[in-house]
Structure 1
Amino acid sequence: MWERSVVVSAPGKAILHGEHAVVHGKVALAVALDLRTFLRLRRCGERGVCVRLPGVGVVRSWDVPSLQALRRGFAADFDESKSPSAEQLDMLKEFAGIAAGASAPESLATLAFLYMYLAISAKHGDVPSVDILVWSELPTGAGLGSSAAYTVCLAAALLTACGAISCPLKEGEPTARWTEEELALINRWAFQGERVIHGSPSGVDNAVGTWGGALRYQSGKITPLKRVPMLKILLTNTKVPRSTKVLVAGVKEKILKFPAIMNPVLDSIDAISQECQSVLEAMPANPSPEYYPVLEELFDINQHHLNVMGAGHPSLDRLCGVTASHGLHSKLTGAGGGGCGITLLRPDTSPLAVEAAKRDLCACGFECWETSIGASGVTLHSSSSLSTQVLHALAES
């Protein structure tokens, strides 16, 4: 049973292979990034609830009686198997003073918190008066699963606070994880939060945030890969804005216009995803360096395919060219048209080459992180296990 404070974290996500092809029934591989969102939930003495998300400028508080009255006023029951109703969301917007068509990150984050707090307390028992602080290593709006990491953290913390799931951290342990049954419950409620934010999400992002590692996604079916290695990557944000909706529509139009040309490209991307899955599952038992050239070739081939499909952008071509000049292999991740790219780093990649690549990428105006894929999913932390940076961010204000 938790006492006064709970700290949880969840990873972001990247698409390794299968962008755009997944929309047309092909396999996609999603992987957990070792860039995380952290959430601290503390019991507070006053009868109030406070949520602070400094990354998106949210500082909101409400008294518990008002929240309980709001919960009683809902016409429809809360249910983690059903999408939040328009009526429920309209009531929450009115309560929080959010405009009807608001889509800014701070508005959606507030709305998701209110829905999840009320729904979880209605379904599983009252959540006590709490203070919640969120800090993230993930940029927002970059297609890296920042909203799902947030809703996964919220679900885990709120479910722990109301006693719906255990507090598995034992004294002296730095971290702990929940049972499979408890993780499934966290995932279901995190998906509800994603529905509030995105309307009709696939469920991939919150599943990656919950279970970590790597997932296979095809035609709505999500299958976690049993064992995957932690692979080092460079993650680069070109900072070029793009519309996923417009890019998806453009790819669809090209497929309809040239089916005999484009359908084989989709089939090839599907084969790349499946080949990559086979390699990733084989690596933990036999960590041979011979796998890395295969992964690099798959990156190169898939990047060319994505350009053919119309998902490329000059900024991404520049990213790939810069890293290639240092002997590295890159591809876009996500919708393309700008956004982010990933660069595979072999275990024997020279640190000097990595630093030189990062320097050149930053000189292009890009933002760059050296991180890993295949990270662990939602995790409960002891204070002693947190980095100085996280402790500072979660310190008393």
Structure 2
Amino acid sequence: MQNYVAMDKELFISAPGKVILHGEHAVVHGKMALAVGLNLRTFIQVKPHRDSTVLINLPNIGTKLTWDVSELQPLLTRFQGDPGHEPVSPSSEQLDLLKTCAGFPEGSKDTERLAALAFLYLYLSICGRDIKGLNIVVWSQLPPGAGLGSSAAYSVCLAAALLTVSGRISCPVHEGTEDGRWTETELKLINSWAFQGEKVIHGNPSGVDNAVATLGGALQYQAGQITPMKRVPLLQILLTNTRVPRSTKILVSGVKDKLLKYPGIIEPVLSSIHAISQECQHILEASTSGLSMDQYSVLEELIDINQHHLNVIGVGHPSLDRLCQVTVLHGLHSKLTGAGGGGCAITLLRPDVDRSVVEAAKQQLTDCGYQCWETSIGAPGVSLHPSLSLPQDIIRAFRNV
């Protein structure tokens, strides 16, 4: 292990997005949900700045922000300056101070403004009296606002990078192309600080998204309790964004109204969704040497049943119906992920599916006007990458910034 403070080189860190495999909406009513790491990732590059400038470049949202360390130092008295302190929630006074410091004009995009506030809060709170010049670039494979945990991946990358830069966690550098991972204690600290970044952005987050981005794999979430699952296999999927906007708040409210109106009908549906999550968890954790084709068949059935349930409770959408119709014609099985009402869906890809089938499905989904990625779930959590281990498209993305 090396400490970044003694190094004059760049850091590359990434964190995964997330999807809900099963349990969306039911989790609001005390049932279990399974959240899994999505191997579309957010990457951060951090380099020491030779002068006292702090620069953060967010090319995905077209934002580049710069401060001089001397501008930020007077703010430190309002933030905890002891580098050993534990994470605490941002106060309204601190956020008001940061808004003034960021200086965004009226009409600025929320995404841009909140990303800057989360960075400033974590930078000042984590680095404390040791704030220094940094050049930071954040580039993401995750579309913002699609319910895929893009803000959590951003917060986790920032927390891991700033904790490393400040020397509060180790720098797990390896030779060659082997990615580095932090200890369990260090990951807990990363997750705790990332949760504060999520509070800046979302106000009252559940903590699931940042936990998935930190730990990867799969997590069980029920009644506020987050429990990592064991031995989760990587599953290949198609992730499809219908591009149909939706309001999570309105959809959640609609399910609640249905439950109040028809408790004898909707409660058993939510309980069945809970049982689907349990059965899926059992299959994934029982897999010690990869899933059998019979187990894949069960996973496909669970996906189909859950999608029907989600339609019953009122969170489906014609765009999602069309998506499921397209994929079933190719022998594939899909369900919405997240709030529904449009948004995204996942399609399970068995290892024995023919490439021509996958390509044909992707093309037809694209022809529908949807955005489609071939990726995996159960992805590893926050990781430090030697530059040699980065995919070529990521290297090109940073070079083009």
TM over 0.5: yes
Q: Are the counterparts in 1 of residues 69 and 131 from structure 2 also a CA contact under 8 Å?
A: no
Q: Are the counterparts in 2 of residues 5 and 43 from structure 1 also a CA contact under 8 Å?
A: yes
Residues 169 and 77 of structure 1: CA distance in aligned 2, closer, same or farther (over 3 Å): closer
RMSD: 1.7
From 324, 330, 342, the counterpart of 1:326? 330
From 44, 62, 66, the counterpart of 2:67? 62
- In the alignment, structure 1 residue 22 sits paired with structure 2 residue 27: yes
The alignment partner of 1:157 has SS state of helix
Tell me which residue corresponds to 1:108.
Answer: 114
1:116-127 matched pairs, under 5 angstroms:
116-122=122-128, 126-127=130-131
Residues 271 and 189 of structure 1: CA distance in aligned 2, closer, same or farther (over 3 Å): same
Specify every segment of 5 or more residues in structure 1 that has no aligned partner in the other structure, as ranges. Answer: none
* Structure 2 letter corresponding to 1:115: Y
Q: Are the counterparts in 1 of residues 44 and 157 from structure 2 also a CA contact under 8 Å?
A: yes
Alpha-carbon distance between aligned partners in 1 of 2:215 and 2:105, rounded to the nearest angstrom: 34
The alignment partner of 1:360 has SS state of helix
Alpha-carbon distance between aligned partners in 2 of 1:396 and 1:378, rounded to the nearest angstrom: 24
- In the alignment, structure 1 residue 85 sits paired with structure 2 residue 91: yes
The alignment partner of 1:343 has SS state of strand
TM-score (structure 1 length as normaliser): 0.96
Tell me which residue corresponds to 2:45.
Answer: 40
TM-superposed CA distance for 1:282, in Å, is 1.1
Alpha-carbon distance between aligned partners in 1 of 2:107 and 2:28, rounded to the nearest angstrom: 27
Tell me which residue corresponds to 2:146.
Answer: 142
TM-superposed CA distance for 1:173, in Å, is 4.4
Residues 186 and 73 of structure 1: CA distance in aligned 2, closer, same or farther (over 3 Å): closer
**What is the CA deviation profile of residues 82-139 of structure 1, one whole-angstrom value per residue up to 9, with x for unaligned ones?**
32111111110011113689661111101100011011012xx514211000111110
From 271, 274, 298, the counterpart of 2:275? 271
| Percentage identity across paired residues of the two chains | 63
Tell me which residue corresponds to 1:313.
Answer: 317
Alpha-carbon distance between aligned partners in 2 of 1:31 and 1:138, rounded to the nearest angstrom: 15
TM-superposed CA distance for 1:284, in Å, is 2.8
Alpha-carbon distance between aligned partners in 2 of 1:382 and 1:325, rounded to the nearest angstrom: 42
* Structure 1 letter corresponding to 2:280: C
Specify every segment of 5 or more residues in structure 2 that has no aligned partner in the other structure, as ranges. Answer: none
Alpha-carbon distance between aligned partners in 1 of 2:253 and 2:108, rounded to the nearest angstrom: 24
Q: Are the counterparts in 1 of residues 176 and 388 from structure 2 also a CA contact under 8 Å?
A: no
Residues 232 and 75 of structure 1: CA distance in aligned 2, closer, same or farther (over 3 Å): closer
Q: Are the counterparts in 1 of residues 17 and 142 from structure 2 also a CA contact under 8 Å?
A: yes
From 383, 387, 390, the counterpart of 1:386? 390
Tell me which residue corresponds to 1:281.
Answer: 285
Residues 74 and 32 of structure 1: CA distance in aligned 2, closer, same or farther (over 3 Å): closer
Alpha-carbon distance between aligned partners in 2 of 1:232 and 1:381, rounded to the nearest angstrom: 23
Residues 322 and 162 of structure 1: CA distance in aligned 2, closer, same or farther (over 3 Å): same
Alpha-carbon distance between aligned partners in 2 of 1:317 and 1:114, rounded to the nearest angstrom: 42
* Structure 1 letter corresponding to 2:117: L
**What is the CA deviation profile of residues 365-388 of structure 1, one whole-angstrom value per residue up to 9, with x for unaligned ones?**
000000000000000000100111
Residues 82 and 99 of structure 1: CA distance in aligned 2, closer, same or farther (over 3 Å): farther
Q: Are the counterparts in 2 of residues 128 and 161 from structure 1 also a CA contact under 8 Å?
A: no
- In the alignment, structure 1 residue 338 sits paired with structure 2 residue 339: no
Count of residue pairs the alignment pairs up: 395
